[in-house]
């Protein structure tokens, strides 16, 4: 479904990003991965994908909210391929805290990583995609960005902003045949949610009508649909992947 396409997935060394990267590689895409802290792990992930799927794969060690580092990534993509077909804005952080007790540093970092970073990446990707008048950008939002949740005001605000970015960018970029959509996962069994206290974890599971925690692959499958030619007439949409979760 993505044979010979060029794709860039941010935050792609674990969790949802890693599942998306593997799914894209399985479908024939040449990949750029991204991590922020561990070059050796990033190189290991890229090597694993190359050996398992026989596609080209490289890694960028870069902070998504550092504009200089972001520009460097897209300069390298242009040098290598002269094009970009798919961007997945996946990198994100979660730092729960009740209102009145949220540290300034947590507010700033959450907004920077979850909202400002995707804006930087979307701008650079759009410039590159505009050269070929084709492309798909998928922003990974959250069910919290759609309906909110106690203790997650800043996270919810950052993910709601990502939905606003998606809707606006979709309108602006549609004439260039660049599609922009969002996926809003619910409770997915990644390292991020496994840090919850057991009582809170069980409470969240009980809120899921399908009766199970989602898997990263469930999200990756939805992202694949939006990245592929199966969705060439789909833009400006927010696709929930939440098992009927109620918050």
**Active site positions, annotated:** 155
Burial 76-89 (b: 16+ CB within 10 A, else e): ebeeebeebbbbbb
Does residue 122 sit in helix, strand or coil? helix
What distance separates the 2 farthest-apart alpha carbons in the chain?
51
Query: Helices 39-53 and 15-26 meet at what angle, rounded to 10?
Result: 30
Q: How far apart are CA 200 and CA 192, in angstroms?
A: 13
Torsion sign over Cα 179, 170, 86, 142: negative
* Pairing status of strand 238-241 against strand 6-9: unpaired
């Amino acid at each position: 479904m993505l044979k010979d396409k060029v794709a860039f997935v941010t935050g792609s060394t674990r969790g949802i990003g890693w599942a998306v990267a593997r799914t894209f590689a399985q479908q024939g895409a040449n990949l750029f991965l991204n991590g922020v802290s561990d070059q050796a792990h990033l190189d290991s992930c890229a090597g694993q994908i190359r050996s398992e799927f026989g596609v080209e794969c490289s890694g960028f060690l870069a902070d998504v909210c550092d504009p200089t580092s972001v520009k460097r990534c897209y300069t390298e993509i242009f040098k290598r391929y002269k094009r970009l077909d798919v961007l997945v804005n996946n990198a994100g952080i979660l730092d729960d805290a009740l209102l009145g007790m949220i540290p300034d540093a947590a507010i700033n970092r959450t907004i920077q990583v979850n909202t400002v970073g995707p804006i930087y990446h979307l701008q650079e990707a759009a410039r590159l995609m505009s050269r070929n008048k084709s492309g798909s950008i998928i922003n990974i939002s959250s069910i919290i960005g759609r309906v909110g949740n106690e203790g997650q005001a800043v996270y919810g605000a950052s993910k709601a902003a990502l939905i606003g970015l998606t809707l606006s960018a979709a309108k602006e970029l549609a004439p260039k045949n660049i599609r922009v959509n969002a996926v809003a996962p619910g409770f997915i069994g990644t390292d991020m949610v496994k840090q919850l206290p057991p009582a809170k974890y069980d409470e969240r599971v009980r809120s899921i009508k399908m009766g199970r925690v989602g898997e990263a692959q469930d999200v990756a499958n939805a992202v694949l649909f939006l990245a592929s030619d199966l969705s060439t007439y789909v833009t400006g949409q927010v696709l929930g992947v939440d098992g009927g979760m109620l918050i």
